């Protein structure tokens, strides 16, 4: 055989070989966008067998949902987000939600709310008491004199029924029985978590009841946009679309006032670092031991949702935009983290190494006449949507 024919056959062979391997490549090309897809591998720290157990005679498992550039792990114990991976400015997959590496880690954690779905009433109710149609009800006091996040056994401690209709969606259901934790009515709750091609995590909440009852559902994910275990969140940059907040008393119960944030450490209408003013001499910061306050969102709409907040990780460049139908957000700067628990990365939950932004109606709403009501009536449906969207941003100075 002539050399030229041999060379031609060799080249043709290589072409056919690589063509046959195209679908097996970890960096396959998306023909629609002409961009390399990110191929996820199940994170070695989270193993399904470490979450497989029985609690309250119900099966507990680990669940994954994912799209091209975002992956989220859940456990149906407490409806918890166990981890959330998105690419940083270098394309490295980064886990931006802190959590534990096993079900035992969540059960034994001194912080009960890591990643949890919260209910029946998120945030605080003063002295655990509220009235509906002249009847007084009492929820357990589990936060000093007050009830917090649904009482002693809120939704963070229950096992949700879970279903995955497709790889991008997880549906959680729970029936909270009449007078559970002191709340009237049988409440049927459905929470749908889904991811989309815009690199977002959508949270859709629905509930119905057979008696009037207060309902304020949310998720208590703790974020560090530089990645779990990367240290302090104080250099994260934050912007809120909120010109007012609800000041609180020493027990962190709102006074009823809607106070302007202007010329206070609560003014995040332009970007500020979380730690920039957190040690300012201020009574509200003193009460919260930092930020632990509800912000009143401005009326604005983007795709039928209000743009609530923007947070940027100072090292990763990861930008998180938060959209919601709720009137408020609770901003918590990790003030009570004490290093007593070990995250899946091996890092301890040290002081202010994660923050939370919870979409919500205002705290103590059943006892505050000028706050939007959270009472759900029989025959009505509670329905609200929030979305956390991730991207890469230019770092602010």
Q: What is the pLDDT of residues 153-177, one digit of tens each?
A: 999 999 999 999 999 999 999 999 9
User: Which of 386, 205, 243, 394 is closest to 307 using CA atoms?
Assistant: 386
Please say if 358 is a catalytic residue. yes
- The residue extents of the domains of the chain are 103-392
Concatenating the DSSP letter of every residue in 287-300 gives HHTS-EEEEE----
> Tell me, what's the pLDDT at 44?
52
CA distance 206 to 201: 17
CA-based R_g, the chain, Å: 23
Structural tokens at position 86: 């998105």
Q: What is the pLDDT of residues 272-331, one digit of tens each?
A: 999 999 999 999 999 999 999 999 999 876 668 999 999 999 999 999 999 999 999 999
Catalytic residue among 220, 236, 272, 307: 220
Mean pLDDT for each 10-residue chunk of the chain (397 residues)?
A: 43 40 33 36 74 98 96 98 98 97 97 98 98 98 97 98 98 98 98 96 98 98 97 98 98 98 98 98 98 94 86 98 98 97 96 98 97 98 98 72
CATH class label, 103-392: mainly beta
Catalytic residue among 272, 293, 358, 361: 358
Q: What is the pLDDT of residues 229-250, one digit of tens each?
A: 999 999 999 999 999 999 999 9
pTM for the predicted model, two decimal places: 0.88
> Tell me, what's the pLDDT at 89?
97
> Tell me, what's the pLDDT at 299?
85
> Tell me, what's the pLDDT at 20?
39
> What residues have CB less than 8 Å from 377, skipping those under 6 apart?
209, 212
Q: Are 334 and 353 in contact (CB under 8 A)?
A: yes
Residue 149: exposure state from Cβ atoms within 10 A (0-12, 13-18, ≥19):
buried
């Amino acid at each position: 055989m002539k050399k030229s024919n041999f060379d031609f056959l060799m080249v043709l062979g290589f072409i056919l070989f690589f063509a046959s391997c195209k679908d097996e490549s970890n960096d396959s090309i998306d023909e629609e966008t002409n961009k390399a897809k990110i191929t996820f591998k199940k994170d070695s720290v989270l193993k399904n067998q470490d979450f497989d157990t029985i609690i309250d005679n119900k099966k507990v498992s680990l669940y994954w949902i994912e799209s091209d550039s975002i992956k989220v792990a859940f456990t149906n114990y407490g409806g918890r987000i166990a981890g959330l991976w998105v690419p940083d400015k270098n394309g490295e997959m980064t886990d931006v939600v802190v959590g534990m590496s096993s079900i035992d880690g969540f059960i034994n954690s001194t912080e009960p709310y890591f990643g949890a779905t919260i209910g029946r009433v998120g945030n605080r109710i003063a002295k655990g008491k509220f009235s509906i149609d002249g009847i007084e009800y009492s929820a357990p006091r589990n936060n000093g004199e007050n009830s917090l996040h649904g009482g002693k056994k809120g939704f963070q401690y229950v096992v949700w029924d879970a279903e995955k209709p497709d790889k991008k969606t997880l549906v959680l259901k729970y029936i909270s029985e009449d007078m559970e934790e002191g709340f009237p009515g049988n409440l049927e709750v459905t929470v749908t978590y889904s991811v989309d091609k815009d690199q977002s995590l959508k949270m859709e909440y629905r509930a119905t009841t057979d008696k009037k009852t207060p309902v304020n559902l949310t998720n208590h994910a703790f974020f560090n946009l530089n990645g779990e275990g990367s240290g302090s969140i104080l250099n994260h940059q934050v912007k809120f679309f909120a010109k007012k907040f609800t000041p609180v008393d020493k027990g962190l119960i709102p006074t009823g006032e809607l106070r302007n944030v202007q010329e206070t450490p609560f003014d995040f209408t332009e970007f500020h670092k979380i730690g920039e003013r957190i040690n300012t001499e201020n009574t509200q910061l003193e009460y919260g031991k930092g930020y632990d306050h509800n912000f009143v969102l401005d009326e604005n709409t983007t795709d039928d949702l209000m743009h609530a907040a923007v947070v940027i990780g100072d090292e990763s460049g990861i930008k998180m935009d938060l959209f919601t139908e709720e009137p408020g957000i609770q901003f918590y700067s990790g003030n009570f983290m004490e290093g007593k628990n070990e995250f899946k990365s091996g890092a301890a939950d040290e002081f202010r190494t994660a923050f939370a932004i919870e979409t919500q109606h205002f705290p103590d709403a059943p006892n505050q006449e000028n706050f939007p009501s959270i009472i759900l009536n029989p025959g009505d449906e509670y329905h609200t949507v929030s979305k956390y969207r991730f991207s890469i941003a230019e770092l602010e100075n």
